[in-house]
Amino acid sequence: MIVTVTPNTALDVTYTVDGLRCGDVHRVSDVRSRAGGKGVNVARVLHALGADVRAILTAGGATGTAVVDDLTAVGVAADVVPIARETRRTTTVLADDGSVTLLNEPGPRLDGDEWQAFAAAVRSRNADVLVCSGSLPPGAGGYAELLGGTPSILDTSGDALLAGLAGRPSVVKPNADELREVTGLRDPVAAAAELRKAGAGAVVVSLGAEGLLAVTPSGSWHAAPSTVLRGNTTGAGDAVVAALALGLSRAEAWPDILRRAVALSGAAVLGPLAGDVDLAHYHREQGLVAVRARPEAHRTDSPDTP
Amino acid sequence: MIVTVTPNTALDVTYTVDGLRCGDVHRVSDVRSRAGGKGVNVARVLHALGADVRAILTAGGATGTAVVDDLTAVGVAADVVPIARETRRTTTVLADDGSVTLLNEPGPRLDGDEWQAFAAAVRSRNADVLVCSGSLPPGAGGYAELLGGTPSILDTSGDALLAGLAGRPSVVKPNADELREVTGLRDPVAAAAELRKAGAGAVVVSLGAEGLLAVTPSGSWHAAPSTVLRGNTTGAGDAVVAALALGLSRAEAWPDILRRAVALSGAAVLGPLAGDVDLAHYHREQGLVAVRARPEAHRTDSPDTP
């Protein structure tokens, strides 16, 4: 079973407006809301692919209830750790000019032993692959406390990423900006090597429309999509993580994992909301992704599976 | 007792961000939420002034519960008519450049006999002054069904305003744009006369920083503030309505009512959120408002109280 953990759950609300103009009054023509937070989105994608997945998440207040109700309706298996404070909301404003503007509330502080209860819930599930995604709310411990022993993916940024490396995650998945921020290095290959030295098994860097760069114990690859897609990129990183988790759970070779990840990322861009994927695109694109071994790859050990 | 009615209740959420940039991701630094909808705001202002006021409102779902909890906490007396659908939210985004951007969800449709239950709740209170404020949600009847017999103020726009005139409200309070929209006339004095012909007793037009224009059975006046204030103008119209309601309930003369209304409007601009008023400004400004009878005033009947 793949287990995703979401300590900083959100109710993702999507507003549709004619156009967003700073200083104006806008009539929202459409309101949709669904369970969110990066780990929840990863679980939603894996559920859509038929994978055996369970989401572990915090939930508090009326917003937390709305999150849990949505997961129940969709059929995503979830372990809910109740918290005293109200779950946050994120609001995505879609305007008819195609712009996407996000307003993210701060996460509610975890009180008392809520973090310990959360960590215990994660440990009790004995995941085959553990996915730690997203930011940590105030009062949380670190991802390193959850990682260790199990094949795992860490997808977070800043201090949460740096501290999480002590847990020796199998894969970390920063985007280019996040990678530069934590290493101070502009060259993604050199920066990825730094993260590997600090504890990451493999580093998969999302390069937006240019695809993925993977620096792994068995080599380095660049995987590029067949075409540049227009759409909502909010959930694309979570789709990459879902593909990585599926690949780890099946012990696939890196080129195969990367094909799946690029295809699923594109399928998420075409999905209307974060966590939705266009399955037709996913299946079609897997045969079209170009994966090239990078010349600077230096094998540091022998296996060609992660 | 003054009774305010709010068929289209809202939870007013205020977000503070560094700056609002279309297409960007924003971290919300502060989240505040409170009961809203124009009638609720009017009740909040009157409660702050110590007036005997009761709010009648619809409430549904978790958002409706949050609205009722807030009114209870503030101490505003309320009759709540439960509805099946979720109460809407309005989100005000305050940026540090001073800009104020609003995102207003559509109101939830009233189902079955919810409107009848609402109208019955209004009638059962036998108000001394009835305040009908704000938009009508889908499925609602019209304000004309609530008005009649009682001294009343109608503060709405478009079709809801035009249809409401059949209830012969004592006062309507459009702003200049709303007045132009419903009459097609650019001259506010001529437009106000049209609304009076159609059923309004008096018309008080809010002119923004230029104050108020009142066209009444006993004459016409212009009331101007002593100074132009900078702040949140969202609740200023509701403060004007609160002042008008207090004036009607005390049968004050129009110049006195207008002094109070301009002062309270300014006090609302200085309040941090819609429904808050700066009482020091209110008391100081009442002596400074300039009220001038307008030469084009033609008395249509004798009393100099509304």
Q: What is the pLDDT of residues A54-82, one digit of tens each?
A: 999 999 998 999 999 999 999 999 999 99
- pLDDT category of residue B260 using cuts at 50, 70 and 90: very high
Give the closest-approach CA distance of A229 to chain B in angstroms: 17
Averaged confidence pLDDT in chain B:
93
A99 CB contacts (<8 Å, ≥6 apart)?
A20, B22, B23
Chain B residue with the nearest C-alpha to that of A233 = B23
Query: Are B56 and B133 contacting, i.e. CB atoms less than 8 angstroms apart?
Result: no
What's the confidence (pLDDT) of residue A195? 97
| Residues of chain A scoring pLDDT < 70 | 274, 296-306
Q: Which pLDDT value is given to residue B167?
A: 97
Choice between B228 and A242, residue whose per-residue pLDDT is larger? A242
pLDDT digits (tens, 9 = 90+) for B199-212: 999 999 999 999 99
Is the Cβ–Cβ distance between B214 and B98 less than 8 Å?
no
* Secondary structure, 3-state, chain A: CEEEEECCCEEEEEEEECCCCCCCEEECCEEEEEEECHHHHHHHHHHHCCCCEEEEEEECHHHHHHHHHHHHHHCCEEEEEECCCCCEEEEEEEECCCCEEEEECCCCCCCCCHHHHHHHHHHCCCCCEEEEECCCCCCCCCHHHCCCCCCEEEECCHHHHHHHHHHCCCEECCEHHHHHHHHCCCCHHHHHHHHHHCCCCEEEEECHHHCEEEEECCEEEEEECCCCCCCCHHHHHHHHHHHHHHHHHCCCCHHHHHHHHHHHHHHHHHCCCCCCCCHHHHHHHCCCCEEEECCCCCCCCCCCCC
Which CATH number applies to B2-22+29-293: 3.40.50.450, 3.60.110.10, 3.90.1170.50, 3.40.1190.20? Answer: 3.40.1190.20
The single residue of B12, B238, B276, B278 carrying the catalytic annotation is B238
pLDDT at B305: 46
pLDDT of residue A29: 94
What ipTM score was computed for the predicted complex, to two decimals? 0.81
Bridge partners for A133 per DSSP: A155
A227-249: pLDDT as tens digits: 988 877 878 999 999 999 999 99
Contact between chains at B105 and A31 (C-beta distance less than 8 A):
yes
At B163, is the pLDDT very low, low, confident or very high (cuts 50, 70, 90)?
A: very high
Nearest CA in chain B to A101: B23
Q: What is the pLDDT of residue A230?
A: 84
Helix (H, G, I), strand (E, B) or coil at B1: coil
Instruction: Tell me which residue in B62, B63, B103 faces A17 most closely, judged by beta carbons.
Output: B103
Least Cα distance to A275 among A103, A43, A118, A57 occurs for: A43
Residue B228 CB burial class (10 angstroms; 0-12, 13-18, ≥19): exposed
A279 to chain B, any CB pair closer than 8 A? The answer is: no
Structure confidence at residue A68 (pLDDT): 96
Residues 6+ apart with CB under 8 A from A16: A28, A29, A30, A94, A95, A96
Domain ranges of chain B: 2-22+29-293
- Candidate from A15, A100, A104 with C-beta closest to B28: A104
Average pLDDT over residues B59-81: 96
Residue A300 or B108, more confident? B108
Q: Which of A26, A63, A100 sits opposite B102 (nearest CB)?
A: A26
- Paired strand residues for B57: B6, B80
Assign 3-class secondary structure to A198-261: CCCCEEEEECHHHCEEEEECCEEEEEECCCCCCCCHHHHHHHHHHHHHHHHHCCCCHHHHHHHH
Residue B159 is a catalytic residue: no
Q: Which residues of A91-102 are buried (b: 16+ CB within 10 A; e: fewer)?
A: bbbbbeeeebbb
Q: Which residue has the higher pLDDT, B166 or B299?
A: B166
- Structure confidence at residue A302 (pLDDT): 42
Query: How confident is residue B296, by pLDDT bands cut at 50, 70 and 90?
Result: low
Q: Which residue in the block uniquely carries the two structure tokens 């090597």?
A: A193
CB contact under 8 A, A22 and B24: no
pLDDT by residue (tens digit) across B171-195? 999 999 999 999 999 999 999 999 9
Question: Going by CATH, does the domain composed of A2-293 fall within 3.20.80.10?
Answer: no
Q: What is the band of B302 on the pLDDT scale with cuts at 50, 70, 90?
A: very low
Cβ atoms within 10 Å of B107's Cβ, excluding its own = 23
